[in-house]
Amino acid sequence: MMIQPNSPGSGSYAPMSMVALWGLHGLIAWYLSRDLYMTAFGVGILAVGTVLTQFFSKPQGAQAMVWRPGMMAWNIVICWCLWGALHALWNFDALFAIIWPAIGYIANYSGQSYSGRGRRRAQDIGV
């Protein structure tokens, strides 16, 4: 008998690491823009968007949400690297990049959940 370990997104530290990533995104946004209200708004949008995505995308009958802190970290890294390039070329303000990780996370999460459904169906029939 083989015991399958928990996925990294369903552990007890995953929600805490998501909150830490939201805070890191907020610190970066505040440091670059120095606008506390827009930074709080951006972090709030990121948090609410993440939780709503988790809530509406979880499989039927599932009790726990599947957090994906790695996906969120990559979205934050891509967001700020893209902003850095745009800032260097066209002097974009940091406030333009505040909600980009939320958009990227929602898009990546929905894409992964749709692609995973076909694999689950194939595994269910023994393929």
Q: What is the pLDDT of residue 112?
A: 63
pLDDT band at 2 (very low <50, low <70, confident <90, very high): low
- Is residue 72 exposed (0-12), middle (13-18) or buried (19+ Cβ within 10 Å)? buried
Q: What is the pLDDT of residue 102?
A: 86
Residue 53: partners with Cβ closer than 8 Å, 6 or more residues away: 105, 106, 109, 110
Residue 22 structure tokens: 């939201």
- Is residue 84 exposed (0-12), middle (13-18) or buried (19+ Cβ within 10 Å)? middle
CB count, 10 Å around CB of 83?
A: 20
User: Whole-prediction pTM value?
Assistant: 0.77
